[in-house]
Structure 1
Amino acid sequence: MNNMHVLFFLLLVGPTFSLNYLVFCPLYAHSHHKFLAKIADTLSDAGHNVTFFAPIILRKYENVKYLDSTKDIVYLQPSKKLESLGYSADYSKFWSEDATAIQFVPAIKAFTRMFQQLYEDLKEDLSVLNELKTRNFDALVFEFLCPTAFPIAEYLGVKALLPSLSMTHHPLMSRLIGEPSSPAILPSMISSFGDDMSFSERLQNTIGDIFFTLFVHYPPMTSFGDHSKLIDFEDMTVRSPFMFMNANPYLDYPRPLLTKSVLIGGISVNATHMKQEKLSDKYNEILKKKEKNVLISFGSMIFSKDMPLAYKETIVKVIESFPDVNFIWKYEEEDVSFAKNLSNLHFSKWVPQTALLADSRLSAFITHAGLGSVTELSYMGKPAVLVPIFADQLRNSKTLARHNGSITLSKYDLSDFDKLKNAVYSILTEKRFKDSAELLAQQLSDQPISPQTLLVKHAEFAAKYGELPNLDPCSRQMSFISFYMIDIIVFISAIVIVTLGVLLIVVRWTSRFFVHLKYKSE
């Protein structure tokens, strides 16, 4: 009888198997690593064999612990040229400069140069790829922003490519697979507009979209095995069975999606784990001193220490005007002489952000609106003052504003005492912000299918079956005229015009005929 029970259980749960995944993650930006590392850990937790291939570009990320469950990590030391390219990027200028599509292009090209140099380094020494080739990977997960992954996939002979994106969407990804991404209804990756745009905003969004399409391209790369064979990025992207994007349908703008696009936004947030995190005595002491507490952090790519002094001084004055509120500010250097030794202001080069957001004693978050921070505060139900600096932060702030739990300020408002003070006062005292933030958190907690489940099920399906041409829509190959039915519109319009013309001629002829008859009868 016991054997029968065991057999029934095995039939019920089905066969168990492990698939081999390679997650390719160059170390150059914290939020991107965190996203890909969470994908790796989720697949490892599902019982699969995961290798995390992490070429180092910026050494400051070399010893950061991003992985928990995934133990097979392959680091690749950078060449001197690659390392120098990593440190050449300077984003602090965006504290005082606009970050339009045109102004942001040089930053994107800086990333492209890094990835191209990484490609050159790998081409020069294939030893690490030769070792990886022996592992017979079923699928490769990588970020679409890094074109180096395509020749790697071709060289390793991986049957399933799974492009991913640590941001909410990429218009080029959508266009390549035939997915609608009209700039009239969908804000671009770095747009400062929402989805309900005026004519002027739609025009700017469209121009920005066209500018990116025309001036941001992958550098040409050839096969590692055959230098005469050019890598076809577009074809390899189209043949990818699925794409994973860091967007959540209950948080982001609604938009038309193909089956290929899998939204796994929130995968990097483990709400249960966050709520179980223990704060150190230092932070417990701070939080228990006052009834209300505010966390200030502007992320890991642009530092608070680099903001204009006028911004720092305004923030300090605002903090000084709230003596009954504690402020914890992530600040990256020791010199805080501008802060007047305020008793309710506490600096730290690093803060346990997730543990603080999960703590009921934290009242609000002042943040740069990076997607990771926006997602974390949304899952934890914290009201926030959003101060986007550059890139997708502007779009993220607009996205969250739709849920009524936040206030958005321009970075230039950091020099305006009244604006900043009023925003902090409102977010701390008006209950509607807290209620809206908590409602969103509850919805994210109760979403029908978790991001983790979406990832694992689609990744397993892709690794098992490889390319899925049945998911490739015919519309992808249609011309602009056919897709937007311009030919149909012109054809029907011509018929209508001809018909109306004929009717007009008939009416005129008939009227003249009867007038002529009347004249003859008279």
Structure 2
Amino acid sequence: MYTMRSTSGLFVFVAFLIALTKCSRLLVVFPMEAPSHYNLGSSLAKGLAEAGHDVTIIASFKEKSITKGLKYREVYLDGFYEERKKQFKEMNLFKMTNIPMIMRLPFMNSMGNDITERTFAHPKIQKLLDDQNEKFDAVIVENFINDAMKYFAYHFKAPLISFSPVGANAWVNILVGNPAPPSYIPNAFMDYSSQMTFFERVLNNLFDVISSLNTHLIFFPGQNKILHKYFPNAPDISDLLYNNSLVLLNSHVSTTFPVPLLPNMINIGGFHVKPAKTLPKDLKDFIEGAKHGVIYFSMGSNLQSKDLPENIRNNLMNTFKSLKERVIWKFEDENLPGKPNNVLISKWLPQNDILGHPNVKLFITHGGLLSTTETIYHGVPVLTIPIFGDQKMNANQMIQHGFGQSISYEDLNEENNIRTAINEMLTNTKYKNNAKQRSKIMHDQPNKPMDTAIFWIEYVIRHNGAPHLRTAGLDLAWYQYISLDVYAFVISVSILVVLILSKLFKICCRKTKTKTDKVKKNN
């Protein structure tokens, strides 16, 4: 009876707190056709709805289950994910590991322009924007090669909140005037950690310039063209880009290295991770029946293990067969010829709940940021096989922090390379200890990341866009921001002074010579 009354009282108290909170109408824009991006967007949207807000989310996926009573509306971009799957099927993602750095820029430009155009052209988006009754108190847009989508905030006359799925980086730093010295902050495309060698710093500086030129001279104009194709009366994209009231960053000092952040840039890394739930019986029995522990192996949602070349699959199976540990392998086919008895395969697995089980000793992964965050949350050592995107940079950071190792995709051709890396991580206790330490850092926060996100979103709404958080650097032209005009002035004045002094010196020399000649002539 006491428990029932306590639970009932708690429910009433929570309902009372929610009632006290002003219900805001929020638009969450996450159209990227990648499950990992959607997981972030839907987690944020559901967290806001659970806090009592009225949430509308634009996404390429549908939520499987929504808690009854939540104000949660989906604008489902049907056909988007199917189109992306078709494109991915035509290209072997595992071969992207060899794409030259310089070629990644046009690839990202093309992908960003494609998702932006298809989003604006979708009938459901056109209907949403044409509806005169649609009102929002804030618009949250995933900032991922889709800058023209900041138009949603302009259209609805609402504060713009950007969400960066990969933390502070060149894509968002320039939008709020955040400093990012390339001497120790690597470009996301460069795969470096914060501890770069001299030549890595040289390349990082050069690529930073190339990346910036690409952004301003190619990507932004391309986005501007798409924007005005669908909305001819829209302002120039330059008037939309720098109006961010807030930037939410999917990062934390436990998952990356410390970087400068302006007051309107807030870390909420780990907001999508929840404590592990009880596993399905078959998985639970498999894990708890493993006397020497379990290794979990997954290449994420885009990369699929079934697409690995046969020789690499065989090398992996031979390695797993030789281990005393059991292996859970996310394998996207029902059959795996030659599968060892100590290996369990499945098309889908509850990754967070598996990583949260104390009998899981090692996580073998591609090194995506969501997987990195989840393994840090649960304190599990990581062996990465990075392929593309930010995966190599994440891998280098985990190595730097002492709880990870990395093996290149090419090295998977040799069975001994895989076995050596696994044995090193399972026998050397430093990896486990460092992983636990990283987990402690992530958990040691004054508030839960989701609560932090909710507070700052509500803060922006309460303060009408929070213009007091905006840095004066955004009011400067780009050449003023980097003090190019000051340097030009100092150099010009210095040259002028040198010229004047040189002229005066010549005049003095000429006068002195004239006097000397007169003295000689008189003598």
Task: Tell me if TM exceeds 0.5.
Answer: yes
After superposition, the Cα gap between the structure-2 partners of 1:496 and 1:412, relative to the gap in structure 1 and judged at 3 Å, is: farther
- Give the Å deviation of 1:62: 4.0
After superposition, the Cα gap between the structure-2 partners of 1:286 and 1:84, relative to the gap in structure 1 and judged at 3 Å, is: closer
Which digits, 9 at most, give the CA deviation of each residue in 1:170-223, with x for residues without a partner? 303211221112333211223211112123212332343334331444522446
Q: AA paired with 1:316? A: M
Per mean C-alpha deviation after superposition, the further-off stretch among 85-94 and 365-374 is: 85-94
The equivalent residue for 2:421 is: 423
The equivalent residue for 2:385 is: 387
- Give the Å deviation of 1:77: 4.8
Residues in 2 aligned to 1:494 and 1:69: alpha-carbon distance in whole angstroms: 72
**Aligned 8 A contact 2:175 2:244 in 1:** no
Per mean C-alpha deviation after superposition, the further-off stretch among 192-201 and 423-432 is: 192-201
**Aligned 8 A contact 1:92 1:302 in 2:** no
The equivalent residue for 1:203 is: 202
- Give the Å deviation of 1:372: 0.5
- Give the Å deviation of 1:489: 6.7
Residues in 2 aligned to 1:492 and 1:110: alpha-carbon distance in whole angstroms: 47
Q: AA paired with 2:127? A: S
Matched residue SS, 1:376: helix
After superposition, the Cα gap between the structure-2 partners of 1:13 and 1:417, relative to the gap in structure 1 and judged at 3 Å, is: closer
Residues in 2 aligned to 1:447 and 1:496: alpha-carbon distance in whole angstroms: 56
The equivalent residue for 2:102 is: 102
The equivalent residue for 2:312 is: 311
Residues in 2 aligned to 1:348 and 1:15: alpha-carbon distance in whole angstroms: 45
Residues in 2 aligned to 1:40 and 1:313: alpha-carbon distance in whole angstroms: 42
**Aligned 8 A contact 1:91 1:302 in 2:** no
Matched residue SS, 1:229: coil
Residues in 2 aligned to 1:69 and 1:379: alpha-carbon distance in whole angstroms: 30
**Aligned 8 A contact 1:314 1:415 in 2:** yes
Residues in 2 aligned to 1:241 and 1:52: alpha-carbon distance in whole angstroms: 19
Once the two structures are superposed, the pairs formed by residues 279-298 of structure 1 within 5 Å of their partners are 279-287=279-287, 288-298=289-299
Matched residue SS, 1:302: coil
- Give the Å deviation of 1:251: 2.5
Matched residue SS, 1:203: helix
Q: Paired residue for 2:369, among 358, 366, 371? A: 371
The equivalent residue for 1:42 is: 47
After superposition, the Cα gap between the structure-2 partners of 1:223 and 1:463, relative to the gap in structure 1 and judged at 3 Å, is: farther
Once the two structures are superposed, the pairs formed by residues 309-388 of structure 1 within 5 Å of their partners are 309-322=310-323, 324-337=324-337, 340-388=338-386
- Runs of 5+ consecutive residues of structure 1 not aligned to the other structure: 1-11, 506-522
The equivalent residue for 2:193 is: 194
- Give the Å deviation of 1:256: 1.4
Which digits, 9 at most, give the CA deviation of each residue in 1:85-121, with x for residues without a partner? 6632458534134144333335421342132122123
The equivalent residue for 2:473 is: 475
Which digits, 9 at most, give the CA deviation of each residue in 1:368-401, with x for residues without a partner? 1110000000010001101111101111112222
Q: Paired residue for 2:273, among 254, 264, 269? A: 269
Residues in 2 aligned to 1:149 and 1:455: alpha-carbon distance in whole angstroms: 21
**Aligned 8 A contact 1:314 1:416 in 2:** yes
Which digits, 9 at most, give the CA deviation of each residue in 1:346-366, with x for residues without a partner? 111111111110000111100
Higher relative contact order (CA 8 A, sep 6+): 1
After superposition, the Cα gap between the structure-2 partners of 1:62 and 1:42, relative to the gap in structure 1 and judged at 3 Å, is: closer
Matched residue SS, 2:271: coil
**Aligned 8 A contact 1:222 1:229 in 2:** no
After superposition, the Cα gap between the structure-2 partners of 1:85 and 1:321, relative to the gap in structure 1 and judged at 3 Å, is: closer
After superposition, the Cα gap between the structure-2 partners of 1:216 and 1:198, relative to the gap in structure 1 and judged at 3 Å, is: farther
Once the two structures are superposed, the pairs formed by residues 23-34 of structure 1 within 5 Å of their partners are 23-26=28-31, 28-34=33-39
Residues in 2 aligned to 1:496 and 1:65: alpha-carbon distance in whole angstroms: 74
Q: Paired residue for 2:430, among 432, 454, 462? A: 432
- Give the Å deviation of 1:478: 4.9
Matched residue SS, 2:202: helix
After superposition, the Cα gap between the structure-2 partners of 1:153 and 1:13, relative to the gap in structure 1 and judged at 3 Å, is: closer
- Give the Å deviation of 1:341: 3.3
* TM-score, normalization by structure 2: 0.82
Residues in 1 aligned to 2:315 and 2:273: alpha-carbon distance in whole angstroms: 32
**Aligned 8 A contact 1:240 1:468 in 2:** no
The equivalent residue for 1:517 is: none
Q: Paired residue for 2:243, among 239, 250, 263? A: 239
- Give the Å deviation of 1:426: 1.4
Q: AA paired with 1:162? A: I
Q: Paired residue for 1:21, among 23, 26, 34? A: 26
Q: AA paired with 1:102? A: I
* TM-score, normalization by structure 1: 0.82
Q: Pairwise CA RMSD of aligned residues?
A: 3.3
**Paired residues, number:** 477
Per mean C-alpha deviation after superposition, the further-off stretch among 293-302 and 404-413 is: 404-413
**Aligned 8 A contact 2:228 2:234 in 1:** yes
The equivalent residue for 1:141 is: 140
After superposition, the Cα gap between the structure-2 partners of 1:308 and 1:496, relative to the gap in structure 1 and judged at 3 Å, is: farther
Matched residue SS, 1:456: helix
Which digits, 9 at most, give the CA deviation of each residue in 1:445-491, with x for residues without a partner? 11234322321121011122333433332333155466356358748
Per mean C-alpha deviation after superposition, the further-off stretch among 489-498 and 438-447 is: 489-498
Matched residue SS, 1:137: coil
**Aligned 8 A contact 1:82 1:117 in 2:** no
Q: AA paired with 2:165? A: S
- Give the Å deviation of 1:74: 2.4
Residues in 1 aligned to 2:102 and 2:413: alpha-carbon distance in whole angstroms: 25
Matched residue SS, 1:242: strand
Residues in 1 aligned to 2:446 and 2:479: alpha-carbon distance in whole angstroms: 37
Per mean C-alpha deviation after superposition, the further-off stretch among 348-357 and 228-237 is: 228-237
Residues in 2 aligned to 1:464 and 1:404: alpha-carbon distance in whole angstroms: 42
The equivalent residue for 1:6 is: none
Identity %: 23
Structure 1 residue 252 corresponds to structure 2 residue 253: no
The equivalent residue for 2:399 is: 401
**Aligned 8 A contact 2:56 2:75 in 1:** no
Once the two structures are superposed, the pairs formed by residues 34-73 of structure 1 within 5 Å of their partners are 34-54=39-59, 56=60, 61-62=61-62, 64=64, 70-73=70-73
- Give the Å deviation of 1:245: 1.4
Residues in 1 aligned to 2:427 and 2:377: alpha-carbon distance in whole angstroms: 21
- Give the Å deviation of 1:228: 3.3
Residues in 1 aligned to 2:142 and 2:129: alpha-carbon distance in whole angstroms: 18
Residues in 2 aligned to 1:242 and 1:212: alpha-carbon distance in whole angstroms: 24
- Give the Å deviation of 1:284: 1.8
